Amino acid sequence: MTTANSRTRYGTVAMTLHWLIAALVITNICLGLYFSDLPRSDPNLFMLVQTHKSIGLTVLVLSLLRLGWRLVNPVPPLPAGMSAPMRFLAHASHFLLYFLIIAIPLSGWALVSASKLGLPTMYFGLFQWPNISLLSDLTREQKGPLHELFDNTHVILAWSAIVLVPIHIAAALYHQFWRRDDVLKRMLPGTQVSGTP
């Protein structure tokens, strides 16, 4: 196993980023769905929101690293036997997933920055994560509609991920158990893949 991607499988950097982001995204979707139903008076709400924000910002940083790594380090090509429509769907869903893992935390950061309450974001209690000053410097009156816009955007994008992630998982299982190719294995550490892509 190598650090970089090869023609047949993903390297350790891409695999680490993939599984780390996957775990964090799933955790944050669960956290978000859970605390959005809590009453504002719930004593754990603040801690849950701070954790959600910290995880989301981690996803943002890791996703940008992952995008950068992908740009300089081409991913293994799709199996040769896939039809053109399937290839299109695979590329489109991967593009959307990349878009979401960057846009969801960005919209979250924007909605927090445009919050009228102005509570600081403490990154895992370690340090204060800055707000987007372009938004946080606005007046309450200006923040109101922007906060609502980013809040709605965040929720719509999050629900897109809630739909797309199971499709992504189903597609991986389809490759593994139906097509019996190496698409899933090449993202799994410690697996052997056949020489040809």
Partner 1 sequence: MKLFISAITVFLAATPACAAHWNVDYAHSKLGFTVQWANEPFTATFKTWKAAIDFDPADLTHARADVTINIASEASDESDFDSGLQGAEGFAATQFSTAHFVATKFRQGSGNSYTANGTLTLKSISKPVTLAFTLDINAKTAHMVGTAHVIRTDYGVGRGEWAAPTPVAHDVKVDIDITAAQN
Q: Which residues contact partner 1 (rule: CB under 8 A)?
A: 40-41, 43, 46, 116-120, 136-137, 139-140
Residue appearing with tokens 């940083």 = 61
Do 186 and 154 contact (CB within 8 A), yes or no?
A: no
Residue appearing with tokens 């849950």 = 48
Largest distance between two CA atoms of the chain: 61
How is residue 176 annotated by DSSP?
Answer: I
How far apart CA 54 and CA 108 sit, in angstroms, is 11
| Alpha-carbon dihedral sign for residues 102, 107, 109, 110 | positive
How far apart CA 60 and CA 182 sit, in angstroms, is 28
How far apart CA 132 and CA 110 sit, in angstroms, is 7
Q: How many CB atoms lie within 10 A of CB 196?
A: 9
Phi, psi for residue 147 in degrees, rounded to 5: -60, -40
How far apart CA 142 and CA 13 sit, in angstroms, is 42
